[in-house]
Structure 1
């Protein structure tokens, strides 16, 4: 892969996930990927999609590989060691894995840093790297390849994507009042200024609008999603922005903000006072899936019909347009890609598969139809033998007879893939 192509691909995924994880600068992370992976050509990157040299640690439960690496425990002296490193299934998974990794408590001080040198100095001090010249070498890459062009220039320069909002909303699913984990969401809201109407939300208050606002704050979307802790007041702010759709019957888009009125009779457009609010995650087969805060005192999902009873109307933020696999609402991958993962066993079986697919924002039936088409030979596989071989090495296709059956069922030549696997491992 050409250097500029590598930079653009890494940058695209960094921009996709950074805001949802509270990271405000992109250039040093892109440079880290370049430096740690040798432009994606190290074995750890090329075969295992680990572009940042991420070790397993005690919390990692995914696949791993044991490889040699060099560490500078004593200034100026390199020591070769062997360690276990994390294994990912794709470049996107590898980049997302970086952001998951820096959610460890010791890296929380990275959030909000906008200067690339300060970011690198902080992450090195946090224990991320041992090289005495880590900051210097990484900043040299930032400067040489003009990576600052990928940094956001405040909210005005930030891509305002529905997928970022949904990624953050999904991350908070399960937070609840019973164990107090909802407090972090309220803290995000209260930490943003100015507070709507000057009111600081209490942990005992209803917090559905606060949840939507906190998602906007975390993702840098407050320019298009107004922050409020009251549903009625939030609607008025959407009106003022020209982003309000009164019609109950419209088919929403992923990322739209849906409001409810529990007194709605179901006849005609409801114009009553709103009681609740959430973020539309997906729309499939006339059904809307919504992620809501304060649903039974927790962050959870609700499924209701398009034009169903209780819908009050929609806030329609002016998101940056997304295309292809990055579009929100149907997950981050194409239907064909997910179907091939299903065939490879990545999504489980039966009811477990259905629950996992729908939880990730995919239509179970649409994926299953695509699986059936692939297995019947109505569609040809689109991945190269080299790509599939890397997935085999990462453990995605099983072992022995199971691997052979899965590969052939997906339309690949088992022997050709195995030959490529052997070549890569050598």
Structure 2
């Protein structure tokens, strides 16, 4: 995924186009050169001093932390978009892409106007995905909940013996790899499982490895069409954990991601697991406790309304009708007001690849009327009741007994 252009980069402190405010600059009560706060260059001869709670976006100005991607897009054209994201199109698709872009631009501008008026808790952005049709965007959301499994799994002992921390973020512990990009392959489930295995191996061993989601894309069997028909057509994190138990997962360096289906190769397992745990369904306390005490979790969500997410605390599923669980992600933390979720659409999406899901719906449930379209395995249920914003509480799991693999090559 293309990176944001330079004028969108977050700059805090001394960086390009930023520095100590000129002594003659009037910066307000809580900002100024005497406090060493950043000076944001808006134009060749115009500066703005940011407060301690703000970040500088060069050529734009100071923005509250968490609003680095918030723009009004006034005068923003299709040509601007193509240049910003290094997009090029065949002649026959140029006009259709332009139409999609223009429709999404109107949507973003209308939504962000409501955000600025205080009517929304999250805002939108014209990102790498803003030229995709709904069908193309759906390809990135191909996962389902494993209602039937082929190995025994454990249940979490979620009894709380002491209060959980008010907030927790596993990124600060050095056990979360950089945000990845699954591309146009429906391999979100493989990325979610890979990321969670990486984190739990790092917690157990002190070594943070970059593992290969292509292992799961190529080698996971999916006889019950859980999440799709396998590979880029979708599967589940639990099926990926089953392969981690039976054969293990390779290093990314030995089995690089291709973003397409391929036959399962022989490989050396870098990491294996003994089993996996599934959390109780629709229980916020269980997910919070597991995050606080065990590590990051693989979770299934309804992500049909995530395409243009730019930042803030997301409540778009409960505000609309997006209740089809269809996307695998990794939960890496929480706070009082949100769950911290890592996505696999590259660092240019959302809040540097992350989304904060509102906890206002922790005690609410919603009906998924299309399990077969999103997250169920055969035989597909007609409906299912999911809990939390975007159904984040319905299907959570993580591997246990994660250890180094053997030098013996897995021969297929």
Give the TM-score normalised by the residue count of structure 2. Answer: 0.22
Q: Which has the larger radius of gyration?
A: 1
Which one has the bigger strand percentage?
Answer: 2
The structure whose RCO (Cα within 8 Å, separation 6+) is larger is 2
Greater fraction helix = 1
